[in-house]
Chains A and B, each alone.
Chain A
Amino acid sequence: MGFLQRTADTIQARLGRLGAMRSARVIGTLLLAFCIWILLDNHLLHVSTGLAEPTYDLMVRSRLRAAPPDPRIIVVDIDEASLERMGREFGRWPWPRDTLATVLDHIEAQQPAAIIWDILFSDPDRLSPGGDSAFDAAVMRSRRSHFSVVRLPESADRNSEIRRPVLPGLWARPGAAGDTATVALIPPFLASVAAAPLGLTNAYPDPDGVIRRHQPVQPLPDGGVLQSMGLAVLKSLQPEAWEARLQAAAVSPRRELIAWRKLSQDYPHVPFADVFDLAEGQAPQARVPSFAGRIVLIGATATALHDFHPTAVSARQGGVDTLATLIDNELNQRVLAELPAWAQSALAMLMCLGITLLVRYRSLSALDGALIALPAVLLGISFASLHTDRVFLDLHLATGSVVIFLTVVKLWAGLRRRHWCGVPVLDGRPIALQPILAEPAWTDAGHNRLMTLLERHAPDCRLLLPGGGASRADWAEFRRFAALVGPPDQLQAAAPALRQGVTGLGGTLGVCEILPDIPDRGALVAAALAAWLPLARPSPNTPQEASS
């Protein structure tokens, strides 16, 4: 207990010294420390992103509106029902690929805009090689099929022999120096698939495992560029837009925020089994829409196939729906731009500077409510920007900085007030009391300025405020009064400056009276009350008005 008490006393004493420090120095130091922290965090440590990511996800899920899904996009879904229905004849997934050939021929015949296989055909089917042959033949006939390729970690590139000539459809741009770069990836097994348009279907989860961004292109050391599936489809459908997009993306290849649809499964899904039934001349269980002119994704949302990922829009989103979103965004030029990191840092630092100036030249009370309102406004701006589908103003750094900076400043202001409204330092000297009257009443800003006057001209003196300085005391009339107490020599020496300062604040400095002996706090209050009486005169404002 003794140790704890000593520790508490030590901390209190040190904090008390902090309150005694000159406000300009403290605020300046705080501002500097925050600016350094902002730069370190935003460019190196990324501590605040731990708060920013869930906030972003919450914003995305709470959006009031989002860009509607492209009506051309439709998903042929290997769902649980399809697994069950197809399983009766073909066993469990993966089914022999002749089933896929049947569906491909059926869809292709209807002349869709594009067919995107969200399935990797990386290995031969040794049980049903004829199925592979049938699928190979169907792919050769297909003019609209696009196939997925997954790139492996770049560290494995040196272990790969795969260059552009064997998978030309994956490269958006050849290498400047003759395709020297090798790429580690899961290659297609079938010859026809390897010759078709290809796109990367990699996902790029953030460190917390949530997918929020994607990478439209991947540059290679030889100047070549690999394209994502979104770009591969864009190339097929809008070659000119693809050229421009490739130009922009290749200049600054980085991960971009995904502009999500409102819901995690906004695109229409058709069970694979129904399409298969229709292709096989059977009646599907549900109506299968026409695929003419549509962008058809063939993928899986069956639970057992595990193609689910946490994304900003849903904790469990189907990979095929994410891919559909990416393709939709490319086709409709939806690139969610972000504030660059330097701009975020600058904005956060400016906010802290603004707070500093307000505290310095007004008072902390000028920021009353700002602790809630300011972050709310900043987050509101971020939230509103998401609705544009064009830009996301990420103000989390500014918001976090404002909250923490304001909290620290408020804590320091409390320490400062405790210091300047405490007991004066007399060191054996007598004590003097000088009443001050303000019309209509002292405000927090006034108290703050009085403290600053003492800090500059009479550092051993203190403020005596009725009600402990509560600016919103129930009896508003008490707010007119204040007094300076301290060694008489210091009060007298500082009298001109104090008088000028008090007058400037709209107050009246009364007569400085030296008290006969050093009183206790109660006697000091009594003396102050006696000193205020001669100064007091009827206020132009009625008590009712002041109270109100």
Chain B
Amino acid sequence: MIRLSALRSTLVCLLAALGATPAAALIENVTTNRAIELRADKLPSASVISNLTAGAKLTVLSLEGGWALVEAGRQQGWVRAGALQMPAGTSGAAGMASGRSAPGGPAVALTIRSLGGPGSRHALLIAVGRYADQEGSALPGAAADRETALQIAQTMQVAARSTRVLADDQATIDAVRKAFFELAGRAREGDRVFIHLAAQGSQQADASGACAAGLLMHEGGRGGFLSHADLAQMLQPLLRRTDKLLLVIDAGGAAAGAPVAGWTNVNDEGALRSRHRAVGAPCPPGARPAALADELARGGPLSGETIILAPLAGDPALEDEAKGGLLTQFTRDCLLRDAREAATSGGADTVRQCVQAKLNARMNGDPVLRPPRIGLTGNPGAALMPPVRSGP
């Protein structure tokens, strides 16, 4: 502790001597508002010392340009200041009545405005781990998915008040429909939306005998079946309006030949479980249910910035009972870190490849299942993460 304090003092003195007077030196208990890299220098190309998780506590030693020199535990390094939960000093005028609320005509200005846009990004996170009918197995990993999806939402700069979470008994068919309806009402032209669905996948024969795929909401059974056709219908208003829509569906088809739950492989210690449950009338043999992409395509071509990540039609979705859905976990890891280090483009397909690679590694040599295949519907080039900058 003494050593750290001495080092800090030395550093501050050194900075002062170099003319970079720390304007906000030694602000303690600052937290990160998203996962971020701690770098050796105030450059995006500087080497990464460590990865800081969202909510990590730091001490800020100085602010230079858009970077903060921080102390995180025993490490010192630079992070982007925008990733810090550190309020700025406000002007006296900001706290006064300024006449902005008074009626009157508008003023015309030769300027643009730098307003924060928390209202322009939205997230809807639905995770069903417990079912009302209790016929099938629960999904213990769904609780972890909620947290993981929240991290992704934070990375996408969705404010907490613009994030709606429906978990377990909150995620009934009616509640989900209502949440989609409200989201469509809130989202304005040009907004960005992240939707995460973690639940049992299912498929059943509909009244006409055709095979319909979908997800099981909290009711379970036939009453809780949310078909891809229904989902596509609920998504249409958002697709028309939003600037970017990222939809992750961590639910899938039946894992043929696999036990319902509890098998492991050598790649990780978590027990695996399939996210699928058959309800209602079984589909006719050989019938292929329509994928969500097919259902969405009926509403017209997808906009350029729509990205849907989900297991390919018929492929299973798997969860680690402790860490949550594999697709959800790996999507987060790839978005926040790994895809950037593995590839040179920030496009959605880079993320998909990264997720697929992680799935392959996780299921490598699995005695029960081959790795599920992850599909990308929408624009494979749509930007999902920061561009990769060449290292030093």
Contact = CB atoms under 8 A, between A and B. Distances in A.
A153 B104 contact: yes
B82 A97 contact: yes
A135 B81 CA distance: 9
B98 A87 contact: no
Interface in A92-136: 92, 94, 96-102, 104-106, 118-136
A204 B108 CA distance: 7
A309 to B, nearest CB: 7
Interface stretch (A57-65, A155-163, A463-471): A155-163
Interface in B94-109: 94, 96-109
B91 interface: yes
B369 interface: no
B111 A201 contact: yes
Given A101-B81, A128-B82, A188-B94, A157 B99 contact: yes
Contacts of B99: 152, 156-160, 162, 182-185
Contact of A118 (B86, B104, B111): B111
A96 B84 CA distance: 11
A134 B115 contact: no
B304 interface: no
A278 to B, nearest CB: 12
20 contacts: A88-B346, A97-B82, A101-B63, A101-B66, A118-B111, A121-B114, A126-B159, A127-B117, A130-B30, A130-B85, A134-B67, A137-B24, A137-B64, A155-B104, A160-B96, A162-B98, A187-B93, A194-B93, A281-B44, A319-B109
B70 to A, nearest CB: 10
B98 A185 contact: yes
A128 B156 CA distance: 12
B47 interface: no
B74 interface: no
A118 B112 contact: yes
A119 B111 contact: yes
Interface residues of B, number: 65
Interface in A286-326: 299-300, 305-307, 309, 319-320, 322-323, 326
A497 to B, nearest CB: 68
B97 A135 contact: no
B116 A133 contact: no
Nearest to B157: A127
Contacts, number: 275
A124 B115 CA distance: 7
Contacts of A309: 108, 110
A202 B108 CA distance: 6
A186 B23 contact: no
Interface majority SS (helix, strand, loop, mixed), chain B: loop
A388 B77 CA distance: 59
Contacts of B93: 162, 166-167, 187-188, 194
Given A99-B66, A120-B112, A189 B91 contact: yes
Nearest to B383: A88
Interface string A343-360: 000000000000000000
A92 B89 contact: no
B113 interface: yes
A141 B23 contact: yes
Contacts of B106: 153
Give the residue among B80, B112, B386 with the most A Cβ atoms within 10 A.
B112
A129 to B, nearest CB: 5
B118 to A, nearest CB: 5
Interface of B: 21, 23-24, 30, 33, 43-45, 63-68, 80-94, 96-118, 120-121, 156-157, 159, 190, 192, 243, 346, 383, 386-387, 389
A201 B111 CA distance: 7
A472 to B, nearest CB: 56
Give the residue among B94, B118, B157 with the most A Cβ atoms within 10 A.
B94
A300 B87 CA distance: 26
B87 A129 contact: yes
Contacts of A193: 91
B100 A128 contact: no
Nearest to B79: A130
A161 B98 contact: yes
A252 interface: no
A76 interface: no
Contacts of B346: 88-89
Given A128-B157, A133-B87, A280-B44, A184 B110 contact: no
B98 A160 contact: yes
Given A155-B102, A184-B99, A131 B66 contact: yes
Interface in A199-227: 201-205, 211
A279 interface: yes
Contact of A94 (B65, B116, B159): B116
Nearest to B62: A137
Given A92-B117, A187-B98, A282-B389, A205 B66 contact: no
A228 to B, nearest CB: 10
A127 B100 contact: no
A226 B334 CA distance: 53
A234 interface: no
A130 B121 CA distance: 19
A15 interface: no
Contacts of A543: none
A498 interface: no
A418 B65 CA distance: 85
A151 interface: yes
A153 B107 contact: yes
